[in-house]
Amino acid sequence: MRLVFFGTPDFAVPSLRALVEEGFDVALVVTQPDRAVGRSRSTLTPPPVKVAALEEDLPILQPERPFGEEFESALRSYDPELGVVIAYGHILKPAVLAIPRRGMLNVHASLLPKHRGPAPVQWSILNGDETTGVSIMQLEPGLDTGPVLHCIETEVARDETGGELLERLAELGAAALVEALTMVAGDAARPEPQDHSRATYAPKIDRGTTRLDWGRDAASVARTIRAFDPEPGAWTSLENMELKLFGGRAVNGSGEPGTVLEAGKTLHVAAGVGAVEVAEVQPAGKTRMAVGDWTRGHRVGPGHRLV
């Protein structure tokens, strides 16, 4: 089966590698352009999928925007039978979706129709889901609304971070994709329409979403810290300076929300109900560090307030 693969970040790499290892004919990889990174913005860095594609000696296209006659003509020239789209970063237009003869499949990091949208992993942890998974879905113009071919479910570990869960789901998604494509190749795939009445949405993460609300219960605050670990980091303020927190978990404790209760090797902060223990912090402009190193250097102690 001749495939064209659309993907950009680390999450898509295990699936690309799995397709190659399983002998699928990946005729073309489409990924986003190299981007400038770092403070100087002087060095262009290729996306992870491009790095993997180069290692596998696969043809690559990097359009700034994946539409228009030039791009569509280039895509048609590879005569793809099926497309695979994983965290590519652009919504593909109907004209592009129609080019592969058997349509396009998407690996989505939730059990659809739950958590449609761009941030399903973070919202799964924010909502306290006990289970999540990956879905292999037929792409259509709607946002994550297409029929589902295959799902694999997994439990969300009690103290799992967004980064840890994303990494697990990337590997799970690769396995699910290979299974789904095997079914498609054998004409055994039976796509099931989604129940749209049960759909929930996982919107894009913005700065407001990642700000900690100490008035909430400790379990909710701890989930927020874990959901955005390692990126972009849940944040609060101490003496008008931004501070990102990591390694959060709910513990016993009480006090005015946001008040530091203990500051040593770990940091205990009062929440609306209970308290939150924090293992690592990242002050603005600094690297991530252990709480003990930060508290000694900044003389942070009980009674300080985070807002």
Q: Report whether 241 contacts 283 (CB < 8 A).
A: yes
CA-closest candidate to residue 237, choices 292, 305, 295, 299:
305
Are the folds of 2-198 and 207-298 the same? no
- The C-alpha angle 141, 151, 200, rounded to 5 degrees, equals 55
Say if residues 15 and 7 touch (Cβ distance below 8 Å). yes
Contacts of 224 (CB under 8 A, 6+ apart): 126, 210, 212, 213, 234, 248
Measured from the Cβ of residue 52, the count of other Cβ atoms closer than 10 Å reads: 23
> b/e per residue, 176-212, with b = 16+ CB within 10 A?
bbbebbebbeeeebebeebeeeebeebeebeeebbeb
| CATH fold label, 2-198 | Rossmann fold (3.40.50)
pLDDT of residue 39: 66
Q: pLDDT means per 10 residues in the chain (307 residues)?
A: 97 98 97 84 90 98 96 97 97 96 97 97 97 97 94 96 98 98 92 97 96 98 98 94 96 97 93 97 94 85 92
Give the rounded distance of the alpha carbon of 265 from its chain centre: 30
Q: What is the pLDDT of residue 43?
A: 84
**Residue 230, pLDDT score:** 97
- Contact in structure between 40 and 17 (CB atoms under 8 Å): no
For 157, other C-beta atoms within 10 Å of its C-beta total: 12
What pLDDT does 40 receive? 61
Cα(37)–Cα(128) distance, rounded to whole angstroms?
A: 33
**Strand 234-238, strand 148-155: pairing:** unpaired
Give domain 207-298's CATH superfamily: Formyl transferase, C-terminal domain (3.10.25.10)
Looking only at the bridges linking them, the beta strands covering 234-238 and 241-246 are antiparallel
Domain ranges of the chain: 2-198, 207-298
* Helix pair angle (162-185, 13-21), 10° resolution: 30
> And the tokens for 81?
């039978």
